[in-house]
A = this chain, B = another copy of it.
Amino acid sequence: MTDGAALPPVIVLVRPQLGENIGKAARAMLNFGLSEMRLVSPRDGWPNETAYPAASGADMVLEKAEVCESVAQATADCGQVFATTVRKRGVDKPVATPAEAAATIRQLPARSAILFGPERSGLDAEDVALARTIVTVPINPEFSSLNLAQAVILMAYEWSKGEALAVPTRTEDELPAPQIELERMIEHFETALEPTGFFYPPDRTPTTKRALRTILTKPGWTTPEIRTLRGVVAALEKKRQD
């Protein structure tokens, strides 16, 4: 795939401890369209049954997961490796936010890998040494307590934002109505209000009309919404004439 399409990043769990957390990571990934997972020396071996319930349906990711003996093996085919740490571990590597890392990944028509360390301790210095870039989530310095699945989900989320996933589409009925309809509604309000004295005294009329126009223009109501509002005015007018 050298046609410029950025490959989705590979999620590498380094010495993950609980099968349940592997399952949760798979679920976190698939929410945002990632499905390629590699496991380096999982503590309880692989496959691990306990991963499946926690994956909540993301079984496909677990089925595809590859087991590797080392971080080097897991990243051998990757042109860009990121190491996630909650706080920068004082190494001389560039540090990126998840958003910056995601942007880099998308711009790179090669394979990227994102490393996540064991739940308790995180990546060690040797793991980090293999990466080009450290990714640190900008987090509350006074309280920093992300679990593995949450770290995975933030990275996956940032990556997916650039992939135009599931962007809600809007139909015509959801667009602001054309100005002509807005104008007719405003006139309808004015006509209904004139006999009520709402625009008195006459020297205030332009100002009051302008204020009402601003209020009715601000929302950007759709055609159906304008129709409903004109129904409101008509109902109140009609009763008035009875």
Contact = CB atoms under 8 A, between A and B. Distances in A.
Given A145-B31, A198-B235, A236-B240, A88 B219 contact: no
Given A143-B57, A215-B228, A196 B138 contact: no
Contact of A31 (B143, B198, B235): B143
Interface stretch (A44-52, A66-74, A113-121, A150-158): A150-158
Contacts of A108: none
Interface string A191-226: 011011110000000000001101100110110110
A26 to B, nearest CB: 10
Interface residues of A, number: 65
B236 A31 contact: no
Contact of A165 (B140, B211, B214, B235): B140
Given A57-B143, A140-B166, A167-B138, A232 B31 contact: no
Contact of A145 (B58, B215, B225): B58
A232 B198 CA distance: 7
A212 B168 CA distance: 24
Contacts of A99: 161
A230 to B, nearest CB: 11
A183 interface: no
A82 interface: no
Contacts of A5: none
A196 B239 contact: yes
Contacts of A174: 92
Interface in A95-149: 95, 97, 99, 136-141, 143-146, 149
A239 B236 CA distance: 9
Contact of A197 (B57, B144, B219, B235): B235
A137 B107 CA distance: 23
A9 to B, nearest CB: 15
A165 B153 contact: no
A231 B233 CA distance: 14
17 contacts: A27-B145, A28-B150, A31-B150, A32-B140, A58-B145, A99-B161, A136-B168, A138-B165, A140-B165, A149-B150, A153-B154, A154-B157, A189-B232, A193-B232, A198-B232, A212-B232, A240-B242
